[in-house]
Amino acid sequence: MPKISSKLLFRGENSRKRNLRIISKKSTKKILDLLPPGSFAKLDDQPNDLPPFQVINCKGGRCLVRQQSWGKYVHWEVEHHRLKSA
């Protein structure tokens, strides 16, 4: 796949040139799903009989998640890359 790039010129005090390029599907594996608070997610190796986790917050590559049956104040910290949208 040929690289396609286009240049944008941002005007202001500090004019900069930025390059945009299309990335291949192989490199998109590192792009993480957006998991907003209140959404539901599953672990990459989660069994089918376990319900999805509710996302409380994601910050710095880690997410706080909980099961609805655990109660309001019990949560678990999981690495973001281990979660996928349910």
Q: Which residue has the higher pLDDT, 76 or 7?
A: 76
**pLDDT tens track for 4-63:** 444 444 444 444 556 666 655 554 455 556 889 999 999 988 999 999 999 999 988 899
Which residues, 6+ apart, have CB-to-CB distance to 64 below 8 Å? 55, 56, 57, 58, 75, 76, 77, 78
Q: Which amino acid is at 51?
A: P
pLDDT at position 7 is 44
Q: How many helices (H) and strands (E) does the chain have?
A: 0, 7
pTM: 0.60
